[in-house]
Amino acid sequence: NGECVFSRICGFGCTATSWGQFSRVYAKNSINIKNQVNDSSFTQTSKETSSQYSIFDLVYGKILCPSVNITNNECYRYTAIYCNPASSDTCYISYSSIVNNTANGGYNCIWFEKSDASYFINTCNILNNKQTTSSYGTIYAYANLHIKDSCILGNNEGYTVFYEDSSSKQITISNCTIDNGRSYGSVTITKTIESSFINALSHIATQS
């Protein structure tokens, strides 16, 4: 029935036996309730069971993740973030690095669930994330998703990267550098950067 904000947190080697290897947060199911992770780093989670899902499982509220580093983690599914905001609310991931994460049971890295919410990825590095099956791509959405000014390279080699699962919604990609445009569903690339770049992002240092 409340809200939650994590700020300047370092998580190293966190594990749980089910959802949310660092945290599983159910906020109040209402718009404008805070459900946020700010200026934090999470690394070196390792898979121990087939029921380990996501570093963050964030449910309901306005989900904001500015300047978050999720790197070198291994889970069974949804390796980095599973987002399910309140109806008609927003999930916004910005200035974040999601790098070298592995889903060894399949089912991707970033999952956006609620069909009537709005999702945004802005100025992020999404690099070298892997999964062991082709299921649902690196970035999955069942809603409208806008991705801009981001570097999306080395992900899910040979498989789909962008997966839009709703026939009435679409993923829109603008001003990004990508090396694998494989997609499923309605995915529109309005502009790409011809030369590869990686955003110069700095993050709080884990374990220091």
Residue with tokens 């899910």, as numbered in its chain: 156
- 108 — alpha (psi -120 to 50), left (phi > 0) or beta? left
pLDDT digit string (tens) for 109-153? 999 988 888 899 999 999 999 988 777 889 999 999 999 999 999
Q: Quick check: 194 pLDDT over 70?
A: no
Average pLDDT, the chain: 87
97 contacts 71 by C-beta, under 8 angstroms: yes
User: Which residue in 200, 190, 194 sits closest to 179, CA to CA?
Assistant: 194
67 contacts 38 by C-beta, under 8 angstroms: yes
pLDDT digit string (tens) for 25-43? 989 988 888 999 999 999 8
Q: Is the pTM of this model over 0.85?
A: yes
